[in-house]
Structure 1
Amino acid sequence: AAPLRSVALPGPGGLGGGEGTAIALPRLSERAAWRLGVLAVAGLAVANLGALDAGVASLWEFLRTKAWFRADMWEPYVAVGSFFTWLHGWLLVDYLATSGKFGGRFSGLRKYRLQDQWAAAKKGKTVAEMKPDELPKPNRWYAGWPWELVVYLAPLFVLAHFNAFAPRRAALEWAAPSFLTVCGQIGAGLFLYDFFFWFGHVAMHKISPRIFKWSHGKHHENNESRASDTVRLTVLEEVVDVLCSIAALRLLQAHPISRTFYNIIITFLLVELHCGYDMPWSPQNLFPQVFAGSRRHHIHHRVGRSYFGKFFRWMDDLFGFVEKDGALKKATKP
């Protein structure tokens, strides 16, 4: 139940006089407030579809004439730029939450940090009750990602050399999509990507320990996932990841505008998945029956035997790759 807050109703003398009556009203939780905000934005979008369609059409007419947008490597560069932005955004969050700078005014962010929550639960406390020296330090997660940039881009340059991006060039002559088409293609692309990757992810974990170490062990080097673990991948994983995304968009014949925004959104979701925080605005808290999110992925990095889906819950729930509460107690070592 939501916590209550007291509100005084005016007495017989109105707002300026007389004793009022105190009643208790439910206080919205952070998650409920964010959920209402998202629903309000969605409602505004539905009410203004005509204007949004016109905006998409104007954007398309602008983009399709630009050499940088027509370039074969546009989408990979968008993905790289987006990863760079999201990774460093979470680096800043970690710094603000744990450094004690600025008079500790950002230390409240630690209550959302999953590693702190697990460490506190082990001692039977809340994060607020923990002393600073009892809270775990963030692991060093920054170094190494420039190498991942080379591993990601090099095969795409090779593909561009062999004309693999010809379908995208043909799509540059398409008419502008509607706003709902863009949203639908992005949502369906995320669903298909997650569906395709789930099978490869399960195979990496379940076939044999040797295959796991060779194909996926690098990603699990840290028990505690941080944002940059998103791109801490073996070459095989990198290839599988990219192919799942390409297959999803090709199957949908997604519009170039949809593909561009898809790259921005999927990189955000991938980094948020590994960030190590359970923010009230996270998709897993906005729509908990649909999205998996950082909590499940945090457990996945802890125990490695469950929660193989990245974005959505359905495949893990359907095939029983979930953890029972009793089993999770064994995974609470910080």
Structure 2
Amino acid sequence: MLLQPLWTVLLGHAPLLHSLLFPTLFSLSVYLSFCLPFLLLDALAPRWALVRRYKLQPQSSVSWASVRSCLALTVYNHLVFIFPLTVLHWYLRPVHLPPEAPPLPRLLAQVFACLLLFDFQSFIWHLLHHRVTWLYRTFHKVHHTFTSTSALTAEYSGVWETLSLGLFAGSAPLLLGLHPLTELVFFLVNIWLSVEDHCGYNLPWATHRLMPLGLYGGARHHDLHHLTSKCNYAPYFTHWDRLAGTLRTGD
């Protein structure tokens, strides 16, 4: 039980985990924490060629006006829309904290399964919102305000998109019956991958470099989507775009 010491520590904070505020605070604080390193790179890029060489669109720069705009919309969506829904979820499905942690192999396998399920759901949703003009103009166009991605643009979206993708992320653990620790790890990984997808940098340690055979797209994959809006609809993996003929690698 390699994860038991970690789970025991978390159980020591059970009142926080049971709190109706926890899901929203967790989501917002983790998201902003993951964005911070990339915001630092954005600040250094105009002055430091070593950083700028890794930018996917080196001619672009991130303005502080856009940072403020992204932050304002993110906080607004969390407070006005996500928080009431998490309260409803908290009321309908009270948090259950079992005394034992899940086995590590099971946790890793289930997190990967959740990512695959979320990737499929998001691919279908995303493709429809680009193929149906009304859906794009009414809902998805907000997210494409920025053709050059940066970390904070990951959650720059309207309420329909925010709630839809939140529903996909929340339904995957529910469908698979995950242990609360596995669910937390999935949310952490999912938020990180979303931020990394939008970071605007092709860094040497990026996730897509760790996956063989081009199975994972990463920031370069998603930046091409924002640049052209005609390819790479899956958020993470490349197999659905490959099957649909919408994959573009930029090589």
TM-score scaled by length of structure 1: 0.69
Q: Deviations over 1:73-121 (max 9, x none)?
A: 42332221111112222110111222x2xxx4xx3121111102xxxxx
Alignment of 1:294 with 2:219, yes or no, is yes
Contact 2:81 2:159 in 1 (8 A): no
Match of 1:272 among 188, 196, 217: 196
- Tell me which moved more, 181-190 or 69-78: 69-78
3-state DSSP class of the match of 1:280?
Answer: coil
Contact 1:64 1:70 in 2 (8 A): no
Q: 1:282 to 1:255 in 2, by over 3 A?
A: same
Q: 1:177 to 1:291 in 2, by over 3 A?
A: same
Match of 2:127 among 202, 216, 223: 202
Q: 1:214 to 1:65 in 2, by over 3 A?
A: same
Per-residue deviation, 1:138? 3.3
Give the match for residue 23 of structure 2: 75
Matched length: 247
Which amino acid in the other structure matches residue 195 of structure 2?
Answer: V
Alignment of 1:112 with 2:54, yes or no, is yes
Give the match for residue 151 of structure 1: 77
Give the match for residue 170 of structure 2: 246
Contact 2:232 2:247 in 1 (8 A): yes
More helix by share: 2
Which amino acid in the other structure matches residue 74 of structure 1?
Answer: F
TM-score scaled by length of structure 2: 0.90
Match of 2:103 among 178, 190, 197: 178
Q: Deviations over 1:41-90 (max 9, x none)?
A: xxxxxxxxxxxx33x11221222242112224423322211111122221
Contact 1:159 1:165 in 2 (8 A): no
Per-residue deviation, 1:190? 1.3
In 1, distance between residues paired with 2:91 and 2:105? 25
3-state DSSP class of the match of 1:142?
Answer: helix
Contact 2:221 2:248 in 1 (8 A): no
Per-residue deviation, 1:168? 5.4
Q: 1:187 to 1:90 in 2, by over 3 A?
A: same
Q: Give 4+ residue runs of structure 1 displaced > 6 Å after superposition.
A: none
Which amino acid in the other structure matches residue 148 of structure 1?
Answer: T
In 2, distance between residues paired with 1:246 and 1:281? 28
Contact 2:216 2:237 in 1 (8 A): yes
Contact 2:16 2:22 in 1 (8 A): yes
Alignment of 1:58 with 2:15, yes or no, is no
Give the match for residue 305 of structure 1: 230
3-state DSSP class of the match of 2:216?
Answer: coil
Match of 2:182 among 238, 258, 270: 258
In 1, distance between residues paired with 2:246 and 2:87? 41
- Tell me which moved more, 316-325 or 182-191: 316-325
Per-residue deviation, 1:324? 8.0
Per-residue deviation, 1:157? 3.2
Alignment of 1:95 with 2:16, yes or no, is no
In 2, distance between residues paired with 1:164 and 1:75? 9
Alignment of 1:237 with 2:168, yes or no, is no
3-state DSSP class of the match of 2:163?
Answer: helix
Identity %: 23
Q: Deviations over 1:123-172 (max 9, x none)?
A: xxxxxxxxxxxx443345301223322313433432344354554513x1
Any gaps of 5 or more consecutive residues in structure 1?
A: 1-52, 117-134, 329-334
Structure possessing the higher relative contact order (Cα contacts under 8 Å, 6 or more residues apart):
2
Alignment RMSD (CA, Å): 2.1
Contact 1:290 1:314 in 2 (8 A): yes
In 2, distance between residues paired with 1:257 and 1:312? 24
Contact 1:78 1:263 in 2 (8 A): no
Q: Deviations over 1:243-277 (max 9, x none)?
A: 00011111111111111122222111111101111
Q: 1:160 to 1:234 in 2, by over 3 A?
A: closer
In 1, distance between residues paired with 2:198 and 2:93? 32
In 2, distance between residues paired with 1:88 and 1:324? 27
Contact 2:238 2:247 in 1 (8 A): no
Q: 1:184 to 1:75 in 2, by over 3 A?
A: farther
- Tell me which moved more, 229-238 or 74-83: 74-83
